[in-house]
Structure 1
Amino acid sequence: MATIATGRVLHRVHAATVAAKWYGRKDATWRWDDPDGKFGVLYLGKTLVGPFAETLLRRPTDRDVLWDQVARRRAASFSATRPIRLAKVHGPGLGWFRTTTAGVSADFDPVDNPGAYAVPQRISAEIYSTTSLDGIQYRSRFDNDELCIALFDRADAAISLDTEGVAIAKDWTRTVLGDRGYTLIEL
């Protein structure tokens, strides 16, 4: 188990046209979503780099990132209002769920790899239904130094929105991309 301390700031990257606090449950599109749509999941990061990588660096073979794509996103921050208890689904925590890094990090592609999220979604549903934990801590697929959080909607009161709709700075973006071998392209 992992714990996020009261007062810890968590980060999210979201589309500029939607609110930052959104617990998706529409169609089990993302990695830790409930396959049956009974609960929602809010995706966060311990730093802004994690959700940035998860949102904008999804094609590692394409080394160019268009500024237009970044400009359509916004940053948000949340503070933990109480300790947040998370299932640790990385490192030794993988063994508890009878999986591997590959099992929870498969690339989702509905054409070439349908069902790639079946394992993490099963794990998410298991954690939600058999524990009182607030969510899951996992490693970003696109920068495994970054720890991310899939917060269950039942833990909504455990966070408060601090900032929302903050434009992502171009210089910061250039630095993050450069450190990872990407190039920012402005058209």
Structure 2
Amino acid sequence: MNVGPPPVDGHGKLKSRRLAAGTVWYRIGHRRYGTALHFSTGAAARWNDPLDSYGVLYLADAPATAFAETFGHDVSEQYPPATDKFVTVTELTERHLYRIKTGAALHLGLLQGAGLAALNLDVRLLATVDYALPQRWSRWVYDAPAALDGILYPSRLLPDRENTALFDRCRDRLEEEDLGTLAQWRCSATGQDILDILDAQGWGLV
């Protein structure tokens, strides 16, 4: 049996979490855009609105998660299991890492952990590469009476990490900081840099 579509109502079963002002995420963007605050529309992303009436900003909980989501998205289709994969210095130089922070509290729907179980769903909703069904669930969360600001869900590439999809209704509560190119990025608190991320996720550099 496949994961079912959302009900007409049933929002009382939807779990949610409030995130305090100052919550931080990360996102990688190409330097030509000059901003990471891009709210996606169309059919090409998991939680986009099937009716195209709102945009969705995809964020990661850490730089390593953002890297996996950006460069690892199609790895299973491009590389056989346990074979070498490579990223170029040019690709790392062309892309910047951004820190995104909310200046006010946000209220997000939970499509992870017990939040899935409460809706009689499972991880198939999060792993399918056919986005039609998760997009319908995105619209269902968006239409909840609580006027939620987005969705919390696990990373498909790093299942122990967390991603966030924010609806454009919270656009004015977000701030961004350009941390520079991926090639030059280094975390001042931990000393981690892009080479540590490449090594941990099995990438070679050319």
TM-score after normalising by structure 2: 0.78
1:46, 1:153 → 2: CA distance?
19
Q: Any conservation in 1 of the 2:126–2:156 contact (CA below 8 Å)?
A: no
Distance 1:169 1:69, change over 3 A: closer
Question: Does residue 102 of the first structure (1) align with residue 108 of the second (2)?
Answer: no
Q: Any conservation in 1 of the 2:99–2:179 contact (CA below 8 Å)?
A: no
Q: Structure 2, unaligned stretches of length 5 or more?
A: 1-15, 187-192
Could you give the per-residue CA deviations for residues 90-118 of structure 1, whole angstroms, max 9, x where no partner exists? 111113443211222213xxxxxxxx112
Could you give the per-residue CA deviations for residues 1-52 of structure 1, whole angstroms, max 9, x where no partner exists? 1222211221111122112111112x22101111111100001112122221
SS at structure 1 position matched to 2:43: coil
Aligned twin of 2:143 = 129
Q: Any conservation in 2 of the 1:104–1:119 contact (CA below 8 Å)?
A: no
SS at structure 2 position matched to 1:77: strand
Aligned twin of 1:64 = 85
Question: Does residue 90 of the first structure (1) align with residue 106 of the second (2)?
Answer: no
Question: Does residue 150 of the first structure (1) align with residue 168 of the second (2)?
Answer: no
Q: Any conservation in 1 of the 2:92–2:183 contact (CA below 8 Å)?
A: no
Q: Any conservation in 2 of the 1:20–1:165 contact (CA below 8 Å)?
A: no
Could you give the per-residue CA deviations for residues 116-159 of structure 1, whole angstroms, max 9, x where no partner exists? 11221111100111241100011111011211110000011221
Question: Does residue 140 of the first structure (1) align with residue 155 of the second (2)?
Answer: yes
Structure 1 range deviating more: 76-85 or 95-104: 95-104
State the identity %: 26
Q: Any conservation in 1 of the 2:86–2:203 contact (CA below 8 Å)?
A: yes
Equivalent residues, number: 175
1:24-43 equivalent positions in 2, closer than 5 A: 24-25=40-41, 27-43=42-58
